[in-house]
A and B are shown apart, each in its own frame.
Chain A
Amino acid sequence: MSSTTEIDLIGKSESDLIALACEGNADAFGALYEKYLDQIYSYIYFRTSNGKDAEDICSRVFLRALNHIEKYEDRGYPFSAWLYRIAHNLVVNWYRDSDRSDEISLIDQYPPPALNGSVEESIEDKDEKDQLLGIIRDLPEDRRELVFLKHVEGLTNIEIGHIMDRTEGAIKALYHRTLESLRDDYGL
Chain B
Amino acid sequence: MAKQNRLSKDLLKIEGQLQEVLQPISPRTEFVDDLRSRLDQAMIKKTTTKRVKVGLLVAGGIVGLAVMVISIIRSLTDRDNIFQAISNGFARLRKREQAVSV
Chain A positions within 8 Å of B, measured between CB atoms, are: 1, 24-26, 29-30, 33-34, 37-39, 41-42, 45-46, 51, 54-55, 58-59, 62-63, 66-67, 111-112, 114-117, 129, 132-133, 136, 147-148, 151-153, 176, 179-180, 182-183, 188
What's the A-B contact tally at a CB cutoff of 8 Å? 100
Cα A129 to Cα B19 with chains together (Å)? 11
Chain B positions within 8 Å of A, measured between CB atoms, are: 10-11, 14-15, 17-28, 31-32, 35-36, 38-40, 42-44, 46-47, 50
Known: A41-B25, A112-B25, A188-B14. A59 touches B38 (CB 8 A): yes
Task: Pull 30 A–B residue pairs with CB atoms less than 8 Å apart, ordered by A.
Answer: A1-B44, A1-B47, A26-B44, A29-B43, A30-B39, A38-B25, A38-B26, A38-B27, A41-B25, A41-B26, A42-B25, A45-B25, A46-B25, A54-B27, A55-B28, A55-B31, A59-B38, A63-B38, A66-B43, A67-B42, A111-B25, A114-B24, A115-B23, A117-B23, A129-B20, A132-B18, A147-B18, A180-B11, A182-B14, A183-B14
Whether A132 lies near B26 (C-beta < 8 A) is no
Whether A55 lies near B21 (C-beta < 8 A) is no
Whether B24 lies near A37 (C-beta < 8 A) is no
